[in-house]
Structure 1
Amino acid sequence: MSFNMNRINPNQTQVFFHDGRFETLTNEELDEFLLQMGLSDVNESIEQNITE
């Protein structure tokens, strides 16, 4: 499944799927989503970019 992410504030990220759907997820929901996708280390990269 292909998707793009856009952090919209410190506690929410929008996930845009290539089929046109999107979801706004809290940090906790994003962690769970990334674990399901097998991408748990991506979230650490996102958080580092926000704090820099």
Structure 2
Amino acid sequence: MSFNINRINPNQTQVFFHDGRFETLTNEELEDFLLQMGISDTNETIEQSVTD
């Protein structure tokens, strides 16, 4: 599943899926989502998406 993430404020991030869907997640929900996707280092992932 392909997705992009975009931090919209200090406690919320939008996850945009390539099929057109999106979700707004809290930090805790984002961490759970990324763990389910097999991504364990959430800080590095968020930093990469913000700088990309």
State the TM-score, normalized to the length of structure 1.
0.83
Q: Percent identity?
A: 83
5+ residue gaps, structure 2, are none
Aligned to 2:22: 22
Bigger proportion of residues as helix: 1
5+ residue gaps, structure 1, are none
State the TM-score, normalized to the length of structure 2.
0.83
Q: Which amino acid aligns with 2:43?
A: E
Instruction: Choose 1 or 2 for highest CA Rg.
Output: 1
Higher relative contact order (CA 8 A, sep 6+): 2
Aligned to 2:43: 44
- The residue matched to 2:30 in structure 1 has which SS? helix
Runs of 4+ that moved beyond 4 A: none
